[in-house]
Structure 1
Amino acid sequence: MDDLDHQLLALLRHDGRAALSDLALRLGVGRATVRARIERLQARGDIRGFTVVTPADMAHAPVRGLMMIGIEGRGTDRIMRQLGGFPEVREMHSTNGRWDLIVEIWTDTLEALDGVLARIRKLDGVATSETSLLLSTRKGR
């Protein structure tokens, strides 16, 4: 992925229903370029789908947390693939600095969150972690 792909993904994360012409204008490229890049990102699996999050969705998963994960060696890609199989994992972000990944987790209860955290900590290559509960969201997508 190049810089344009990253910019396109950032715009789509903000508004997954944005018109191709609006995306093209903001990126400074043609509509056909945006369409081709979206199709390529989907074909490669970089975009796995588009979703809508409603207030009702958040009510069904009222416990939300951010888990910062430190990974031993070069296992980041493998661990991200494994985390992709956790239904409670809503988003994953690779980062620089102290933590290798930041993972957003949604569950029904604190006990369920505790169980997910325990499963993640047992993954081979997870060296350290720290989790913070999300108390409120001021601005969502």
Structure 2
Amino acid sequence: MDKIDQQLISALRHNARASLSDLALTLGVSRTTVRGRIERLKQSGEIVGFTVVLKGETALDPVRGLMSLGIEGRGMERILRQLNGLREVRAIHTTNGRWDLIVEIGTTTLEHLDKILAQIRKFDGVANSETSLLLSTRKSSTG
């Protein structure tokens, strides 16, 4: 992937509905070049799809947070199973550094979020945690 491909992907992340003409003008290349590069990036698997984020989807979880978890001992698989069983858990990420897991949680109220956080903190093997509320989303590449 060269510099033009990277600029094209950046432009598509900003506005995936941009016309080929607008993309060509932004990149300083022809429409044919833009069309060919998009097709090549799709065929190579670099671009795996395009998405639409609906306003209603963002309203489903008006209260969202990221919970960082430190896991002690060998409890990781058990804790992952427990987290997967919670309907409020939207995503689970393993990470390095101070925290072992970052858990994305979505609820309808702060009280509900508080109950879920307390429940997770009680999981056997959770050594420590820290939670940050998500106040607003300025950019998202997924729904």
Same fold by TM-score, threshold 0.5 exceeded? yes
**Hey, what does 2:76 align to over in structure 1?**
76
Distance of aligned partners of 1:60 and 1:25 in 2 relative to their CA distance in 1, 3 Å threshold: closer
Structure 2 distance, partners of 1:90, 1:53, is: 16
TM-score (norm 1): 0.64
Greater mean alpha carbon deviation, residues 67-76 or residues 55-64:
55-64
**Hey, what does 2:96 align to over in structure 1?**
96
| Amino acid across the alignment from 1:129 | S
**Hey, what does 2:42 align to over in structure 1?**
22
**1:9-48: CA deviation from partner (whole Å, max 9, x where unpaired):** xxxxx9xxxx9x7163539xxxxxx9xxxxxxxxxxxxxx
Long gaps (5+) in structure 2? 1-12, 14-38
User: Identity over the aligned pairs, expressed in percent?
Assistant: 63
TM-score (norm 2): 0.63
Structure 2 distance, partners of 1:23, 1:81, is: 35
Greater Rg by CA: 2
Long gaps (5+) in structure 1? 1-13, 28-33, 35-50
Distance of aligned partners of 1:90 and 1:68 in 2 relative to their CA distance in 1, 3 Å threshold: same
